[in-house]
A = this chain, B = another copy of it.
Amino acid sequence: MTLKVGVIGTGMIGQDHVRRITQVLSGADIVAVSDANADVAREVAAGLKEATVHATGQQLIDDPNVDAVIVTSSGPTHEEYVVASIAAGKPVFCEKPLATTTEGCRNIMAAEVAHGSRLVQVGFMRRYDAAYRALKVTIDAGTVGAPLMYYSGHRNPSVPESYTKDMAIVDTAVHDFDVTRWLLGEEFAAIRVIAAKPNSHGGELLDPLLMILETDSGVLVNVETSVNIRYGYDIRGEVVGETGTAALADRGLVVLRSSHHVGGAVPADWRERFIDAYDVELQEWINAVVAGEGASGPSSWDGFAAQVVCDAGVDALHSGERVEIELGDKPALYA
Protein backbone atom coordinates (compact mmCIF):
# COMPACT_ATOMS: atom_id res chain seq x y z
CA MET A 1 0.00 0.00 0.00
CA THR A 2 1.17 3.50 -0.85
CA LEU A 3 0.71 6.22 1.77
CA LYS A 4 -1.11 9.24 0.35
CA VAL A 5 0.45 12.35 1.82
CA GLY A 6 -0.69 15.98 1.80
CA VAL A 7 1.79 18.78 2.35
CA ILE A 8 0.77 22.06 3.99
CA GLY A 9 3.37 24.69 3.17
CA THR A 10 5.32 24.24 -0.05
CA GLY A 11 8.22 26.58 0.60
CA MET A 12 11.81 25.43 0.55
CA ILE A 13 11.50 22.69 3.16
CA GLY A 14 8.11 21.55 1.95
CA GLN A 15 9.37 21.24 -1.60
CA ASP A 16 12.37 19.28 -0.36
CA HIS A 17 10.07 16.77 1.35
CA VAL A 18 7.97 16.54 -1.82
CA ARG A 19 11.09 15.74 -3.83
CA ARG A 20 12.20 13.24 -1.19
CA ILE A 21 8.91 11.36 -1.14
CA THR A 22 8.45 11.27 -4.90
CA GLN A 23 12.04 10.68 -6.02
CA VAL A 24 14.00 9.10 -3.18
CA LEU A 25 11.85 7.23 -0.69
CA SER A 26 9.64 4.21 -0.94
CA GLY A 27 6.01 3.73 0.00
CA ALA A 28 4.41 7.15 -0.24
CA ASP A 29 3.05 9.63 -2.76
CA ILE A 30 2.11 13.29 -2.60
CA VAL A 31 -1.61 13.62 -3.38
CA ALA A 32 -2.35 17.12 -2.11
CA VAL A 33 -0.61 20.41 -1.41
CA SER A 34 -1.55 23.82 -0.10
CA ASP A 35 0.33 27.01 0.62
CA ALA A 36 -0.37 30.54 1.81
CA ASN A 37 0.88 31.47 -1.65
CA ALA A 38 -1.46 29.58 -3.96
CA ASP A 39 0.79 30.13 -6.99
CA VAL A 40 3.62 28.29 -5.30
CA ALA A 41 1.33 25.40 -4.38
CA ARG A 42 0.09 25.15 -7.96
CA GLU A 43 3.61 25.19 -9.32
CA VAL A 44 4.65 22.37 -7.01
CA ALA A 45 1.55 20.36 -7.91
CA ALA A 46 2.30 20.84 -11.60
CA GLY A 47 5.51 18.89 -11.15
CA LEU A 48 3.66 15.92 -9.67
CA LYS A 49 1.73 13.07 -11.22
CA GLU A 50 -1.62 13.94 -9.73
CA ALA A 51 -1.94 16.23 -6.72
CA THR A 52 -4.87 18.36 -5.60
CA VAL A 53 -4.19 21.96 -4.71
CA HIS A 54 -6.20 23.04 -1.67
CA ALA A 55 -6.99 26.62 -0.78
CA THR A 56 -6.32 26.05 2.92
CA GLY A 57 -4.52 23.64 5.17
CA GLN A 58 -7.83 22.75 6.79
CA GLN A 59 -9.28 21.69 3.43
CA LEU A 60 -6.24 19.58 2.74
CA ILE A 61 -6.62 17.87 6.10
CA ASP A 62 -10.29 17.25 5.36
CA ASP A 63 -9.54 15.77 1.93
CA PRO A 64 -10.58 12.08 2.24
CA ASN A 65 -7.84 11.14 -0.24
CA VAL A 66 -5.17 12.35 2.20
CA ASP A 67 -3.97 9.64 4.57
CA ALA A 68 -1.34 11.67 6.41
CA VAL A 69 -0.19 15.26 6.65
CA ILE A 70 3.17 17.01 6.56
CA VAL A 71 3.21 20.49 8.09
CA THR A 72 5.97 22.68 6.70
CA SER A 73 4.18 25.99 6.80
CA SER A 74 5.44 28.95 8.86
CA GLY A 75 5.98 28.29 12.58
CA PRO A 76 2.98 30.26 13.94
CA THR A 77 0.56 28.13 11.88
CA HIS A 78 1.85 24.76 13.11
CA GLU A 79 -0.38 24.46 16.17
CA GLU A 80 -3.60 24.96 14.19
CA TYR A 81 -2.76 22.37 11.51
CA VAL A 82 -1.44 19.79 13.94
CA VAL A 83 -4.53 20.07 16.15
CA ALA A 84 -6.76 19.85 13.08
CA SER A 85 -4.92 16.75 11.86
CA ILE A 86 -5.41 15.11 15.23
CA ALA A 87 -9.08 16.07 15.14
CA ALA A 88 -9.28 14.35 11.74
CA GLY A 89 -7.51 11.31 13.17
CA LYS A 90 -4.70 11.67 10.63
CA PRO A 91 -0.98 11.15 11.30
CA VAL A 92 0.93 14.40 11.03
CA PHE A 93 4.63 15.09 10.60
CA CYS A 94 5.39 18.62 11.79
CA GLU A 95 8.68 20.41 11.27
CA LYS A 96 10.01 22.15 14.38
CA PRO A 97 8.78 24.08 16.23
CA LEU A 98 5.78 22.00 17.16
CA ALA A 99 4.23 25.30 18.26
CA THR A 100 5.68 28.68 19.02
CA THR A 101 4.52 28.66 22.64
CA THR A 102 4.51 26.05 25.37
CA GLU A 103 0.76 26.72 25.66
CA GLY A 104 0.40 25.68 22.01
CA CYS A 105 2.39 22.52 22.66
CA ARG A 106 0.19 21.72 25.63
CA ASN A 107 -2.91 22.14 23.46
CA ILE A 108 -1.52 19.67 20.98
CA MET A 109 -0.64 17.16 23.68
CA ALA A 110 -4.11 17.51 25.17
CA ALA A 111 -5.68 16.80 21.80
CA GLU A 112 -3.43 13.83 21.17
CA VAL A 113 -4.01 12.42 24.66
CA ALA A 114 -7.75 12.81 24.12
CA HIS A 115 -7.36 10.95 20.83
CA GLY A 116 -5.73 8.16 22.80
CA SER A 117 -2.72 7.30 20.66
CA ARG A 118 0.19 9.07 19.01
CA LEU A 119 -0.45 10.83 15.72
CA VAL A 120 2.23 13.52 15.85
CA GLN A 121 5.91 13.34 14.93
CA VAL A 122 8.18 16.38 15.23
CA GLY A 123 10.99 17.00 12.75
CA PHE A 124 14.08 16.70 14.90
CA MET A 125 16.12 15.03 12.21
CA ARG A 126 19.38 14.65 14.12
CA ARG A 127 17.99 11.56 15.81
CA TYR A 128 18.11 9.92 12.36
CA ASP A 129 21.71 10.83 11.59
CA ALA A 130 23.97 7.79 11.38
CA ALA A 131 26.69 9.34 13.55
CA TYR A 132 24.32 10.39 16.34
CA ARG A 133 22.75 6.95 16.22
CA ALA A 134 26.15 5.31 16.54
CA LEU A 135 26.91 7.63 19.45
CA LYS A 136 23.68 6.64 21.19
CA VAL A 137 24.44 2.96 20.66
CA THR A 138 27.87 3.51 22.22
CA ILE A 139 26.41 5.32 25.23
CA ASP A 140 23.64 2.80 25.74
CA ALA A 141 26.09 -0.08 25.52
CA GLY A 142 27.94 1.35 28.50
CA THR A 143 31.18 1.52 26.55
CA VAL A 144 32.22 4.75 28.26
CA GLY A 145 30.36 4.18 31.50
CA ALA A 146 27.57 6.38 32.80
CA PRO A 147 27.53 9.79 31.04
CA LEU A 148 28.66 12.66 33.28
CA MET A 149 29.10 15.52 30.79
CA TYR A 150 28.16 16.25 27.22
CA TYR A 151 29.68 18.80 24.86
CA SER A 152 27.57 19.93 21.94
CA GLY A 153 29.09 22.27 19.40
CA HIS A 154 26.87 23.90 16.79
CA ARG A 155 28.86 25.90 14.29
CA ASN A 156 27.56 27.74 11.26
CA PRO A 157 29.72 29.60 8.78
CA SER A 158 27.26 32.51 8.81
CA VAL A 159 23.64 33.48 9.42
CA PRO A 160 21.28 35.73 7.47
CA GLU A 161 20.61 39.35 8.40
CA SER A 162 17.26 38.31 9.82
CA TYR A 163 18.88 36.20 12.53
CA THR A 164 18.16 37.75 15.94
CA LYS A 165 19.80 37.40 19.33
CA ASP A 166 17.35 34.82 20.69
CA MET A 167 17.58 32.63 17.60
CA ALA A 168 20.90 31.17 18.75
CA ILE A 169 18.74 29.49 21.37
CA VAL A 170 15.32 28.91 19.81
CA ASP A 171 16.44 28.19 16.28
CA THR A 172 19.96 26.86 16.59
CA ALA A 173 20.53 25.30 20.02
CA VAL A 174 17.05 23.79 20.03
CA HIS A 175 18.50 20.94 17.95
CA ASP A 176 21.25 20.40 20.51
CA PHE A 177 18.66 20.40 23.30
CA ASP A 178 16.55 17.74 21.62
CA VAL A 179 19.34 15.46 20.56
CA THR A 180 20.97 15.64 23.99
CA ARG A 181 17.71 14.73 25.73
CA TRP A 182 17.49 11.77 23.37
CA LEU A 183 21.12 10.70 23.73
CA LEU A 184 21.03 10.86 27.52
CA GLY A 185 17.45 9.67 27.92
CA GLU A 186 16.55 12.32 30.46
CA GLU A 187 15.18 15.84 30.90
CA PHE A 188 16.92 19.11 31.62
CA ALA A 189 16.60 20.71 35.06
CA ALA A 190 18.35 24.07 34.63
CA ILE A 191 20.16 26.31 32.17
CA ARG A 192 22.68 29.14 32.27
CA VAL A 193 23.68 31.14 29.20
CA ILE A 194 26.99 33.02 28.98
CA ALA A 195 28.12 35.13 26.07
CA ALA A 196 31.72 34.82 24.93
CA LYS A 197 33.78 37.61 23.41
CA PRO A 198 31.70 38.52 20.36
CA ASN A 199 32.73 37.44 16.89
CA SER A 200 33.33 40.57 14.87
CA HIS A 201 31.46 39.02 11.94
CA GLY A 202 28.33 38.76 14.07
CA GLY A 203 27.29 42.40 14.26
CA GLU A 204 25.08 42.96 17.31
CA LEU A 205 24.59 39.26 17.99
CA LEU A 206 25.87 37.57 21.13
CA ASP A 207 27.99 35.02 19.34
CA PRO A 208 29.42 32.62 20.38
CA LEU A 209 27.11 31.65 23.21
CA LEU A 210 27.86 29.05 25.82
CA MET A 211 24.88 27.33 27.43
CA ILE A 212 25.40 25.17 30.48
CA LEU A 213 22.55 22.83 31.23
CA GLU A 214 22.01 20.32 34.00
CA THR A 215 19.92 17.22 33.54
CA ASP A 216 17.70 15.68 36.17
CA SER A 217 20.46 13.26 37.18
CA GLY A 218 23.14 15.95 37.19
CA VAL A 219 24.84 15.45 33.83
CA LEU A 220 26.42 18.76 32.81
CA VAL A 221 25.74 19.72 29.22
CA ASN A 222 27.71 22.40 27.37
CA VAL A 223 26.17 23.80 24.23
CA GLU A 224 28.28 26.14 22.13
CA THR A 225 26.66 28.07 19.32
CA SER A 226 29.11 29.77 16.97
CA VAL A 227 27.08 30.99 14.04
CA ASN A 228 29.58 33.14 12.19
CA ILE A 229 32.64 30.94 12.30
CA ARG A 230 33.23 30.88 8.57
CA TYR A 231 35.22 27.62 8.33
CA GLY A 232 32.22 25.37 7.76
CA TYR A 233 29.11 23.77 9.16
CA ASP A 234 30.46 21.68 11.96
CA ILE A 235 28.35 19.71 14.41
CA ARG A 236 30.37 18.40 17.31
CA GLY A 237 29.33 16.16 20.17
CA GLU A 238 31.29 14.39 22.88
CA VAL A 239 29.96 12.51 25.85
CA VAL A 240 32.28 12.21 28.84
CA GLY A 241 31.55 9.05 30.77
CA GLU A 242 32.93 7.45 33.87
CA THR A 243 35.57 5.46 32.00
CA GLY A 244 35.94 7.09 28.59
CA THR A 245 34.50 9.44 26.04
CA ALA A 246 32.73 9.07 22.71
CA ALA A 247 32.47 11.77 20.09
CA LEU A 248 30.94 12.34 16.68
CA ALA A 249 33.71 11.69 14.15
CA ASP A 250 34.67 14.11 11.43
CA ARG A 251 32.94 13.28 8.17
CA GLY A 252 35.48 13.80 5.45
CA LEU A 253 35.35 11.07 2.81
CA VAL A 254 38.83 11.68 1.49
CA VAL A 255 42.14 12.25 3.25
CA LEU A 256 44.05 14.79 1.20
CA ARG A 257 47.78 15.38 1.47
CA SER A 258 48.50 18.63 -0.23
CA SER A 259 50.46 21.85 0.39
CA HIS A 260 51.97 20.69 3.69
CA HIS A 261 48.65 19.64 5.13
CA VAL A 262 46.85 16.36 5.61
CA GLY A 263 43.16 16.17 6.38
CA GLY A 264 39.59 16.14 5.18
CA ALA A 265 36.71 18.38 4.26
CA VAL A 266 34.22 20.00 6.64
CA PRO A 267 30.62 20.19 5.38
CA ALA A 268 29.59 23.48 3.81
CA ASP A 269 26.09 23.63 5.28
CA TRP A 270 23.34 21.75 7.15
CA ARG A 271 22.01 20.31 3.93
CA GLU A 272 25.28 18.53 3.15
CA ARG A 273 25.64 17.39 6.75
CA PHE A 274 22.11 16.11 7.35
CA ILE A 275 20.70 15.25 3.93
CA ASP A 276 20.81 11.54 4.70
CA ALA A 277 19.18 12.07 8.10
CA TYR A 278 16.19 13.76 6.47
CA ASP A 279 15.79 10.80 4.13
CA VAL A 280 15.88 8.28 6.97
CA GLU A 281 13.55 10.40 9.10
CA LEU A 282 10.81 10.56 6.50
CA GLN A 283 11.20 6.93 5.45
CA GLU A 284 10.82 5.79 9.04
CA TRP A 285 7.77 8.03 9.45
CA ILE A 286 6.22 6.57 6.30
CA ASN A 287 6.97 3.04 7.46
CA ALA A 288 5.49 3.69 10.91
CA VAL A 289 2.34 5.24 9.51
CA VAL A 290 1.89 2.49 6.93
CA ALA A 291 2.31 0.00 9.76
CA GLY A 292 -0.54 1.73 11.59
CA GLU A 293 1.58 3.19 14.38
CA GLY A 294 0.52 6.77 13.78
CA ALA A 295 4.01 8.09 14.50
CA SER A 296 7.46 7.17 15.69
CA GLY A 297 10.46 9.17 16.82
CA PRO A 298 10.18 12.63 18.38
CA SER A 299 6.74 13.14 19.95
CA SER A 300 4.62 16.10 20.95
CA TRP A 301 6.23 15.76 24.37
CA ASP A 302 9.63 16.18 22.78
CA GLY A 303 8.42 19.25 20.91
CA PHE A 304 7.01 20.61 24.16
CA ALA A 305 10.16 19.89 26.17
CA ALA A 306 12.33 21.61 23.57
CA GLN A 307 10.07 24.64 23.76
CA VAL A 308 10.29 24.82 27.55
CA VAL A 309 14.08 24.59 27.46
CA CYS A 310 14.22 27.30 24.79
CA ASP A 311 12.02 29.60 26.89
CA ALA A 312 14.23 29.00 29.92
CA GLY A 313 17.29 29.62 27.79
CA VAL A 314 15.99 32.95 26.57
CA ASP A 315 15.19 33.91 30.18
CA ALA A 316 18.70 32.90 31.21
CA LEU A 317 20.24 34.87 28.37
CA HIS A 318 18.36 38.03 29.31
CA SER A 319 18.70 37.71 33.09
CA GLY A 320 22.20 36.31 33.30
CA GLU A 321 20.86 33.91 35.92
CA ARG A 322 20.59 30.15 36.23
CA VAL A 323 17.00 29.33 35.30
CA GLU A 324 15.29 26.16 36.44
CA ILE A 325 13.36 24.09 33.95
CA GLU A 326 9.97 22.69 34.94
CA LEU A 327 8.22 20.35 32.55
CA GLY A 328 5.44 19.12 34.82
CA ASP A 329 4.07 15.62 34.57
CA LYS A 330 4.55 13.67 31.39
CA PRO A 331 1.30 12.18 30.06
CA ALA A 332 1.37 8.39 30.05
CA LEU A 333 0.96 8.46 26.26
CA TYR A 334 4.58 9.62 25.98
CA ALA A 335 6.08 7.30 28.57
Q: Which residues of A does B touch, CB under 8 Å? A: 21-27, 130-131, 133-135, 138, 143-149, 151, 194-201, 208, 210, 212, 215, 217-220, 222, 224, 226, 228-232, 234, 240-250, 252-266, 268, 283
How far is the CB of A206 from the nearest CB of chain B, in Å?
11
How far is the CB of A52 from the nearest CB of chain B, in Å?
20
How far is the CB of A185 from the nearest CB of chain B, in Å?
13
Apart from A243-B258, A249-B252, A260-B266, what 17 extra A-B contacts exist at CB < 8 Å?
A: A25-B26, A131-B254, A143-B256, A148-B208, A195-B220, A196-B219, A197-B220, A201-B242, A232-B260, A234-B257, A244-B256, A248-B255, A255-B263, A260-B265, A260-B268, A262-B266, A263-B263
Q: A134-B254, A244-B229, A262-B252 are in contact. Are A149 and B224 (CB under 8 A)?
A: yes
| Measured CA separation A253–B237 after assembly (Å) | 11
Of the residues B135, B220, B246, contact of A257 by C-beta under 8 Å: B246
| Measured CA separation A249–B148 after assembly (Å) | 23
How far is the CB of A248 from the nearest CB of chain B, in Å?
7
Q: Which residues of B contact A133 (CB under 8 A)?
A: 253
Q: Which residues of B contact A130 (CB under 8 A)?
A: 253
State the majority secondary structure of interface residues on A: mixed
How far is the CB of A159 from the nearest CB of chain B, in Å?
14
**In the complex, residue of chain B having the shortest beta-carbon distance to the beta carbon of A137:** B254
Q: A148-B208, A224-B149 are in contact. Are A254 and B246 (CB under 8 A)?
A: yes
Q: Are A254 and B135 in contact (CB under 8 A)?
A: yes
The 7 A-B residue pairs with the shortest CB-CB distance, nearest first, are: A263-B263, A197-B218, A244-B258, A134-B253, A196-B220, A231-B244, A230-B243
Q: Are B230 and A257 in contact (CB under 8 A)?
A: no
Q: Are A210 and B208 in contact (CB under 8 A)?
A: no
How far is the CB of A15 from the nearest CB of chain B, in Å?
16
Q: A194-B220, A212-B212, A264-B249 are in contact. Are A254 and B138 (CB under 8 A)?
A: yes
| Measured CA separation A329–B43 after assembly (Å) | 49
**In the complex, residue of chain B having the shortest beta-carbon distance to the beta carbon of A283:** B24
How far is the CB of A256 from the nearest CB of chain B, in Å?
5
Q: Which residues of B contact A231 (CB under 8 A)?
A: 144, 243-245, 257-261
Q: Which residues of B contact A243 (CB under 8 A)?
A: 201, 229-231, 258
Q: Which residues of B contact A196 (CB under 8 A)?
A: 148-149, 218-220, 240
Of the residues B212, B215, B229, contact of A240 by C-beta under 8 Å: B229
| Measured CA separation A196–B239 after assembly (Å) | 12
| Measured CA separation A142–B251 after assembly (Å) | 22
**In the complex, residue of chain B having the shortest beta-carbon distance to the beta carbon of A218:** B197
How far is the CB of A271 from the nearest CB of chain B, in Å?
14
Max chain B C-beta neighbours (<10 A), residue from A131, A199, A201: A199
